[in-house]
Amino acid sequence: MSAPRLRATPLPGIGVQYDLETREHRHLSVVAHRDGTRTVNMYRPDDPDSCAHSLKLTSSEAGSLIDALKPSHHSPSLLYTTDLGLVAERIEVPAASRWNGRVLGDMRMRTETGASVVAVLRRAEAIPSPAPDFRLSGGDTLIVVGTREGVDAAATIIGRE
């Protein structure tokens, strides 16, 4: 059996919608709102475009559900950012970004927002703990950790709407 395919669709000003079709051909979606809340939707089996159930979760409720769904949720050594009031988010550097070709330190991300870039995803490579002299490239995805407000401010600096 092939791995399930998760499709992400940006919703400008709202967040991101993730769609999944289960092996039983059921359509599920999760809307990750910018304020940290989540809306889980399950669609009708006879009409995969018609929502049968919708459940709005607070950021804390979503974190608890995520923890429960992880196979390793019983491991006491794992650190869940939601327990600490932090969020981790992937933020893409647009190809036409003013940051394309500049070094990470020029953003002054931590100084301006309190959020930190903990890794950069570039093509199939992950660069953990990039130094301030790390040169950004359009299409890079930054893994940013901080408070909800800090991560939103970081997204504004990077240029994402």
CA angle, residues 159, 113, 138, in degrees to nearest 5? 30
pLDDT digits (tens, 9 = 90+) for 32-57: 888 888 999 999 988 878 999 999 99
8 Å CB contact between 152 and 158: no
Rounded to two decimals, what is the model's pTM? 0.54
- Which residue has better confidence, 127 or 123? 127
Give tens-digit pLDDT for 69-112. 766 545 554 555 666 778 888 888 988 889 999 999 999 999 99
